[in-house]
């Protein structure tokens, strides 16, 4: 995955890193296995090809991840996909590159996902990683009803509620939670809740969407953190904590949303769904890995196009 150090990276360095990812043996093998052939050309042209080609891996049809319908593959294809995952950043990214970060961001999700990511962040910070602040990212998106006969939790209605509960379990404190609320110019609400825990400042933000009529997504919550909680400096190092298979696309989005404008360093880790205790669902479906590989291609293409217009 592209490196993004403190102070930012030159466009040609970013393009080089993306080209290395595109040209990896794992990517070439996957594309060929599904009937494609990477063309020659510059990084932008090859990302455009991959974005079009990766429609063959799309199981969402424009819907949410929970709506995806993954195709079962034969054993040889499944093994190829699983073997390619670490090389493409979809697995094996559990350890941060540095011992200290100025800020740790726990990326949002549902009830189980948020709890697993917050717990993983707490484990990292208890085993040698240092930071001054931890922020859980969420939104006011309402979560779907719990499946089966599981009782509803009246305190967890939105993604932000779920993240607040998860973060407070992972980073407990007897101190009172301080709340700030507001409304954007286009009428979208937001809130930030903060408290101290073990010498650190803990925040949770329910960020507003930036796209009219749509729910807040990963870039929106990153923007919400930078605008409502902490504006990162060019000397800051930021660690994102997520789920392993989402590392590539969320790393690219963080570079685009935070790294390019603020020039802060970006590093991204994800807990291993195969072994992490707070994740009961087990290994990712091979189709899910392909879906998130497509997400990574699309995010890297957007990042690459944006860097062509940015002077660092």
Provide the pLDDT for residue 56. Answer: 93
Residue 309: the pLDDT is: 66
Percentage of residues in the chain having pLDDT higher than 90:
79
Q: Is the pLDDT of residue 186 over 60?
A: yes
- Cα(134)–Cα(102) distance, integer angstroms: 9
Distance in angstroms (rounded) separating the CA atoms of residues 1 and 253: 12
| Rounded Cα distance, 44 and 19, in Å | 9
Better-scored residue on pLDDT, 63 or 277: 277
Asked whether 111 and 136 are in contact (CB, 8 A), the reply is no
Average pLDDT, the chain: 91
The residue ranking higher by pLDDT, 293 or 111, is 293
pLDDT in tens, 26-35: 999 999 999 9
CA torsion 112-115-120-126 (nearest 10°) is -160
Q: Of 55-64, 172-181, 268-277, which has the strongest mean pLDDT?
A: 172-181
Q: Residue 23: helix, strand or coil by DSSP?
A: coil
Q: Quick check: 286 and 77 in contact, CB under 8 A? A: yes
pLDDT-based confidence at residue 284 (cuts at 50, 70, 90): confident
Task: Enumerate the β-bridge partners of residue 181.
Answer: 191
Per-residue pLDDT band at 23 (split at 50, 70, 90): very high
Kind plus residue range of the DSSP H or E element containing 64 = none
Can you tell me the distance from the alpha carbon of 296 to that of 300, in angstroms, rounded to the nearest whole number? Answer: 6
- Name the packing angle between helices 286-307 and 43-53 (round to 10°): 150
Q: What is d(CA 120, CA 101) in angstroms, rounded to the nearest whole number?
A: 16
- Whether the per-residue pLDDT at 235 is higher than 60: the answer is yes
Residue 148: the pLDDT is 53
pLDDT of residue 67: 67
Say if CB 251 and CB 2 are below 8 A apart.
Answer: yes
pLDDT value for 312: 43
Q: Tell me, what's the pLDDT at 169?
A: 96
Structure tokens at 93: 């990214």
Reported pTM: 0.94
Does the structure show a pLDDT above 50 at 222?
yes
Instruction: Annotate 242-280 with DSSP letters as a single string.
Output: EEGGGHHHHHHHHIIIIIHHH--EEEEEEE-TTT-TT-T
Beta bridge partners of 182: 190
What pLDDT, on the 0 to 100 scale, is given for residue 282? 76
Q: Which pLDDT band, with edges at 50, 70 and 90, does 310 fall under? A: low
List the single range of 7-11, 119-123, 280-284 with lowest mean pLDDT.
Answer: 280-284
Could you read off the pLDDT of 125-184 as tens digits, one per residue? 999 999 999 999 999 998 877 655 454 566 788 999 999 999 999 999 989 999 999 999
Looking up tokens 């969420």, which residue turns up?
Answer: 138
């Amino acid at each position: 995955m592209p490196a993004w150090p403190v102070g930012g990276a030159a466009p040609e360095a970013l393009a080089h890193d993306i080209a290395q990812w595109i040209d990896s043996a794992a990517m070439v093998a996957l594309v060929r296995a599904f009937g494609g052939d990477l063309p020659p050309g510059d990084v932008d042209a090859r990302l455009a090809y991959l974005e079009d080609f990766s429609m063959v891996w799309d199981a969402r049809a424009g819907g949410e991840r929970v709506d995806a319908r993954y195709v079962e593959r034969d054993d040889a294809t499944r093994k190829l996909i699983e073997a390619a995952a670490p090389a493409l950043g979809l697995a094996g990214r559990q350890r941060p590159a540095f011992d200290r970060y100025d800020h740790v961001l726990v990326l949002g999700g549902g009830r189980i996902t948020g709890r697993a990511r917050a717990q993983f962040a707490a484990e990292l910070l208890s085993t040698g990683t240092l930071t001054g602040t931890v922020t859980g990212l969420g939104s006011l998106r309402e979560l779907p009803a719990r499946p089966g006969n599981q009782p509803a939790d009246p305190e967890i209605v939105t993604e932000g509620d779920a993240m607040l509960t998860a973060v407070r379990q992972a980073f407990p404190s007897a101190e009172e939670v301080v709340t700030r609320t507001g409304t954007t110019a286009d009428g979208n609400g937001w809130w930030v809740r903060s408290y101290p825990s073990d010498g650190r400042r803990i925040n949770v933000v329910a960020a507003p969407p930036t796209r009219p009529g749509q729910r807040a997504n990963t870039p929106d919550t990153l923007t919400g953190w930078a605008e409502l909680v902490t504006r990162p400096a060019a000397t800051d190092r930021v660690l994102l904590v997520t789920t392993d298979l989402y590392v590539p696309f969320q790393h690219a989005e963080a570079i685009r949303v935070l790294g390019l404008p603020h020039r802060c360093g970006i590093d991204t880790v994800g807990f291993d769904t195969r072994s992490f205790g707070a994740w009961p669902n087990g290994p990712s479906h091979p189709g899910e890995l392909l879906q998130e590989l497509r997400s990574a291609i699309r995010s890297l293409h957007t990042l690459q196009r944006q860097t062509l217009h940015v002077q660092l």
